[in-house]
Each structure stands twice: as C-alpha cells, then as structure tokens.
Amino acid sequence: MIGKIKKGKSFGGCIRYVMGKDNAKILESDGVLLGTNKEMIDSFSCQCLLNPKIKQPLGHIALSFKPEDAPRLSDEFMTKIALEYMELMGIKNTLFILVRHHNTDNPHCHLVYNRIDYNGKVISSQNDFKRNEIATKRLKDKYGLTYAEDKSKTNVKNLHDPERVKYEIHNAVKATLKHSRTWWDLGKQLQKQGIGMTFKINRRTGKNEGLSFTKDGYTFKASDVSRQFSYSKLNAQLSWDIPKMQTEIEPKQQPIRQEVEQNYSVTNSLIESNGLGLLTPSDVPPEDEQVPSWQKQKKKDKKKTNTTGEYGVFGHTTTSLQLFAILYKIYMAQNENKCYSIWVKYIWKICRISGKQWYIIRQMCDFWR
C-alpha cells in the first residue's frame, strides 16, 4: 500500500479524470451531490467560497495496493482502509469522494477532497509526505498488507523513460553508497556511470538545502528517487573530506605561490626599512582549488585571523604597503601639531590584530616620539 499526494487549483480536471475511467465506482462520499460531473464540481467549488484566499483547495490522494492483496480487497474492505487513512492524515469535516478504479493490476482508489473544511479552515498539508509514510505503514502492519518490493529488484528494461532513468539512478546510488565515505567518492563513482549531481543552494543563507541527480537529459530531485537519498539523510552519512584532491592540485599551484611570496617579501622589506618591523604578513595561502560544484561544501563562518598579509581597516581590506602609507600620513599630521591623541585613536582602530593592540601602540609611540 502506498499513497501518492497531490494538490491543485481546479476540481474540474480531477473529477473528470477519476470519474472518466471505465468501471469507476464511488465507494464513499460526504457533502457532494452525486449526479453529473458538473454537479460534483460545483459542490466542491462552492465550498471554496468559505476561504477564497486558498490558492490550492484541491486535495487528491491515490491509494494503491499490491496485486497480492487483490483477493482480500473488497469494496467494503478498501473503503474501511481509506477512511482510517483519512483519519490518520487529519482529513475530516470536509467534502470528499472515494472512487475505485479497475484499470490496472494494482487495486487502487482515488480520494478527492476539499482542503477547506465546513468551517472555512484549511486542512494542513504540513509534513504530509512524512505523515503519509507513517499512516500507510501503520495500516499495512495492522491488516497484514503486502509491502512494496525493493526498487533494485524491478526489471528496468520493461520501463519507459523517464521512469526507467529514475530506477537506474536509484540502483546506481544505492550500490555506490555502500563503498562511499565522502561526497567526493559518491560523485566520482556516479560520474563514471553517466550520472551527475547538483546541489540546491539557499540564496539567503548560502547553505546547501537540496540535491538532484541527472542522467540522459532527465533530472530528478534526490528525494523523488528515494526518500533515503534526500540531501539531509545523505549528508548525515557522507563527509566533505577531500584530501586526495588537495594533494593532486597543490603541486600545480606551487609556482604561483612562490611568485606571490616574492611580491610580499618586497613589501616586508619596505616596512622594515622604515623602522617599523611590526606588521609583517605571514605566508600567503594558495589560491582556491577549482573543484566541481557538487564537491563544494559550505564552510561555517569562523573568526578571521590575519594570515594573508592583509589587515582590516575601517571595514576594508588593506595590504601591508597600504597600511604603511596610512600610518605615514598620520605621522605627518602629528608633526603638524595636530592632537597627539587623535593618531593614537586611529592606530588603535587600524591595528586590530588579535592580542597585539597594546604592543603595536607602544611601539608606535616610541617610534614617533
């Protein structure tokens, strides 16, 4: 037994679909005129006037069972299961029809209901997929219904696109996860099988919040392939460590690092030659490694430390040479009989290097006196 949940704007198309199949039979209903399709549609539409702000008043759930359960699923038994399912999902005090179809090997029925109840309140859809999973599992255990087979056992050759591609992605991800410890391992192995990974990044926070797989021109959200492949669940299993990639890229960037270090050594000599010798920058880190988008990890903000030869001055990034020029201007202003405390105040703001404020100011005072 599984439940497929959908929401929509118009009842017209949904009613015509569920009633248009051969041998469609209404098992149960409440508050709906069971005449023509138009009368049923009007019944649902009138209820929507109680809360016109709701843009998607239509609720549609297809309850499907395994062929093995068909001998037991009389109309009465299916109705009983469907009504208990509605109770578990919080669908009550509203218009609905329950229609059974016989056009497939899988016994199934369609529940069409109004998300606006008789009091004009909205039937919540929050966490409905999770609640659906819990409800169907509880009913299967209660009545001994057959569980769905593992997707990996499905004969993919008998499926058509895009369903075939979805099952191929499922089987590949499931098999690859057994031998993957990091996102790098997973992405590299899937890439060999022609499957791409794309992360969805929250524009406001900049953090990863979703994942999708692409193959043969078809893209699926990871949670649509399988609930077990959602980004949150995979992120709990996989780490972001990529030590091998760093060792491969680092030698190629060595000449660039040496060139940058030489440029900074010139700046250091300029500062030291003027008697300061206080703000010498440390080694410059290598440039950011270029890695595929699926390998990038959102790093947590950490307290910045000065390891790049740059200093924060009034909210701006300033190199050692620029900082020396600022200090020199302040020194010249002090020689023009401007207030001594003013330049000390500016030095304090400029030289906000952790644990070295007083040391720098004392050295500056000794130098300019």
Rounded Cα gap, residues 72 and 75, in angstroms: 9
pLDDT band for position 243 (cuts 50, 70, 90): low
pLDDT band for position 264 (cuts 50, 70, 90): very low
Tens-place pLDDT, residues 298-337: 444 444 444 444 444 434 444 455 555 566 666 666 555 4
Rounded to 10 degrees, the C-alpha dihedral 166/172/174/175 comes to 160
Residue with tokens 């050295």: 363
Burial class of 98 by CB neighbour count within 10 A (0 to 12, 13 to 18, 19+) = buried
Give me the CATH topology for the region 2-148: BirA Bifunctional Protein; domain 2 (3.30.930)
Return mean pLDDT, the chain. 75
pLDDT at 245: 45
Structural domain boundaries in the chain? 2-148, 152-241, 268-297+305-368
pLDDT band for position 179 (cuts 50, 70, 90): confident
Tens-place pLDDT, residues 104-133: 888 999 999 999 999 999 999 888 988 998
What token pair was written down for 231? 């980004």
Residue type for position 302: K
Tens-place pLDDT, residues 331-359: 666 555 444 455 555 555 555 444 444 44
* Nearest to 61, CA basis, from 123, 145, 148: 123
Rounded Cα gap, residues 14 and 44, in angstroms: 11
Q: What is the mean pLDDT of residues 187-214?
A: 91
pLDDT band for position 256 (cuts 50, 70, 90): very low
Residue type for position 40: M
Q: 86-95, 140-149, 165-174, 332-341: which has the minimum mean pLDDT?
A: 332-341
pLDDT band for position 207 (cuts 50, 70, 90): confident
199 and 208 in contact (C-beta within 8 Å)? yes
pLDDT at 325: 59
pLDDT band for position 277 (cuts 50, 70, 90): very low
Tally of CA atoms within 13 A in the half-sphere of 257 that contains its CB: 15
Does 76 have pLDDT greater than 90? yes
pLDDT above 90 covers a percentage of the chain that reads 40
pLDDT band for position 278 (cuts 50, 70, 90): very low
